[in-house]
Structure 1
């Protein structure tokens, strides 16, 4: 397909530019501008809806939406075909889908724009992929610099009274449709989780402010949390840091994870007051990641346990990443996330008794580190 000329590009996007300029005008100047009906394919401009309605509809402020549009548009290939509708509409229908979980035909109608189902489907795939590539590295960062680690540690200590913690880790399942039987790269049976449903097992790490600091959505539902962690780049980083002598830096996780010198898990059976106090403090502090799971799925209903992503696993992964990016952007913008606990998952992780290779030396070191932690803090 031939790329568009500069003249064609300008003609295709002139209405888009008008809308962005319109939004930046003072209220008194807006009477001088009128949107042409064919721009939005009806009389409604989504950016003119009240702020509260806009946030409910797109899970973002108008400023956030414009920032996403402006950044992603620079990376979007310009051709006649993919500019059949303005780029900003593709972003808005995607944001609405992430927030509502509604299937594709209702997305266009709620946004009051006449967009066909195939167009919406392509927009969701394209925009989520762009968000994963170009916004996730900016908005989802694990603390690796000393200043960042110190800031996160202070947050956990001030809120929960626990020292040295740079994140709480947990896994959550996002249900998907079964991949095609003939898909050798994504065989359907490996996506069947313990509940008999097809899903992706998503590893999340959050700080004390409920900001997601790391995510891994590459593995199917049959893979245990401990196995996802064992293959994680975050684990490799923390192990390397420990081996060069950087200690007193921990993640906290439930009993579904193996005890390691950099990953503290609770005691299965406490034997004294110190261990009991450790377990209580550990549980209170770890609650933040369980709340994150609930709030994330309640805010971005496409991830909810009441929905199923009707996408191939590769596309579903990008949808998960895009939802987390918008979640973090919303926290940064001060949005009041819809904190309902109706979608919070019950902690069903089992102790590590699955076929995961456990390094016995690390287990011994982890026990020593946990005991030292108790002696130093209790």
Structure 2
């Protein structure tokens, strides 16, 4: 029996031996009556949405950035958090599971601790937009090999995560700013995906009433792409739907394109490639059910420290967007898209 098999049987933690770069096994006295690592692989993944090896790696990574002190073992904290996010259940049923046996108060504290550690420390490591030449070329290659599109480094879209309405008495976070176009309270999350449905950009700071285009306007990724364009890199493009502004670094479909034209051909290929972001959203909400509209997050937006934007901003192709040096970005975007079509569809 190898070390990994022993781990799966006794539910221990693996820590890296910094001197020898090996793994050593540390036995833990579990507080519960059941060892979750003794579950079948299928049952384990249903409960935690990760396989056992991936979860071991997550525990190790969280352990490097969070305090391991306390009566509750770190692995139990991570398992509890994943069980909650995977099922979208209430905290009491999560804590009452036979292998957890924790109070609702403890579960609440654990979820906040582990989610904060992941968001503050692990998120910047694993969610990275390609900025080096090698990473840009690798990302472009992925889109080209799958769909024959050139110069695409990502697909952007917004998805709504529903939340409970803030109290009417909350003047700092009034409920109406979280009401989206479907009349539900939500957070509008901007996601950017590569060709393999890997998330390479995310912005979850805005209420549901804020339009996708307004979130994009405040994005650090947009600022980066604009700077790169002004420095001479005109070969990198994101794809976004008609809710986004047409820019030289962000292509949107042609409006009212006639059949059997190069514009229509562009739109067809565009829609095919954009399916990757729809698939990414589906995978994310299917794997972590707490994000699904059928499992409304029972958290107040204050906990997320969301800034309030009271006026929804919507950009259309007729709007004029001027960059810091006085250029009309819409005109530059049209010219860049037309050049792309001429080079790839004629």
Bin of the TM-score, shorter chain as denominator length: 0.7 to 0.9
Contact 2:13 2:56 in 1 (8 A): no
What are the equivalent positions in structure 2 for 1:104-253 lying under 5 Å apart?
104-110=91-97, 112-253=99-240
- Tell me the TM-score normalised to structure 1 length: 0.78
The structure 2 residue matched to 1:20, chosen from 6, 12, 25, is 12
Deviations 1:263-312 (A, max 9, x none): 00001111461111001011101111011111211111000011110002
* Alignment TM-score, normalising by the size of structure 2: 0.85
| Pair 1:367 & 2:344 matched | no
Q: Distance in 2 between matches of 1:301 and 1:317?
A: 22
Q: Distance in 2 between matches of 1:355 and 1:120?
A: 50
Quote the Cα distance in structure 1 between the aligned partners of 2:246 and 2:317.
14
Check conservation: 2:211, 2:314, Cα contact below 8 A: no
Q: CA deviation at 1:180?
A: 3.0
Higher mean C-alpha deviation, range 309-318 or range 162-171:
309-318
Deviation readout 1:37-57 (Å, 9 max, x if unpaired):
xx3232x11112122221111
Aligned to 1:67: 57
CA distance in 2, matches of 1:368, 1:92: 51
Matches for 1:269-288 after TM superposition, within 5 Å: 269-271=256-258, 273-288=261-276
Judge conservation of contact 2:189–2:206 (CA < 8 Å) in 1. yes
Describe the superposition over 1:160-189 as per-residue Cα deviations: whole angstroms up to 9, x where unpaired. 111100000000000011223343432222
Count of residues in correspondence between the two structures: 316
CA distance in 1, matches of 2:41, 2:282: 25
Q: Measure, in 1, the Cα distance between the counterparts of 2:51 and 2:59.
A: 12
Partner of 1:58: 48
> Aligned pair in 2 of structure 1 residues 21, 97: CA closer, same or farther (>3 Å)?
closer
Query: Which has the bigger relative contact order, CA under 8 A and spacing at least 6?
Result: 1
Instruction: Report the CA distance between 1:35 and its aligned residue.
Output: 7.0
Distance 1:139 1:34, change over 3 A: closer
Corresponding residue of 2:23 = none
**Residue aligned with 1:135, SS:** helix
On the 8 A contact 1:217/1:317 being kept in 2, the answer is no
Q: Structure 2: which 5+ residue stretches go unaligned?
A: 1-9, 17-25, 307-312
Deviation at 1:111, TM superposition (A): 5.5
Specify whether residues 314 and 70 from structure 1 end up closer, same or farther in structure 2 by C-alpha distance, changes over 3 A only: farther
Name the residue aligned to 1:294: 282
1:138–1:111 CA distance, 2 compared to 1 (3 A)? farther
- 1:44-98 superposed Cα distances (whole Å, 9 cap, x missing partner): 111121222211111112222222222222332355xxx2322211110100111
Change (3 A) 1:111 1:268: farther
Check conservation: 2:91, 2:104, Cα contact below 8 A: yes
Cα shift readout 1:109-135 (whole Å, capped 9, x = no counterpart): 446321111111111111100000111
Cα deviation, 1:215-239, whole Å, max 9, x if unaligned, reads 0000000100000000000000000
Which structure shows the bigger proportion of residues in helix conformation? 1
Query: Is the contact between residue 213 and residue 314 of structure 2 (CA under 8 Å) also seen in structure 1?
Result: no
Q: Please provide the CA RMSD for this pair.
A: 2.6
- Contact 1:176/1:316 (<8 A) preserved: no
Match of 2:67 in 1: 77
Q: Distance in 2 between matches of 1:203 and 1:356?
A: 21
The correspondence of residues 297-312 of structure 1 with structure 2, limited to 5 A, is: 297-312=285-300
Map of 1:89 onto structure 2: 76
Show the counterpart of 1:326: none
Task: Decide whether aligned partners of structure 1 residues 184 and 84 sit closer, same or farther in structure 2, where only a CA change above 3 A counts.
Answer: farther
Which residue pairs with 1:321 in the alignment?
Answer: none
Quote the Cα distance in structure 1 between the aligned partners of 2:316 and 2:119: 34
CA distance in 2, matches of 1:35, 1:279: 57
Distance 1:95 1:317, change over 3 A: farther
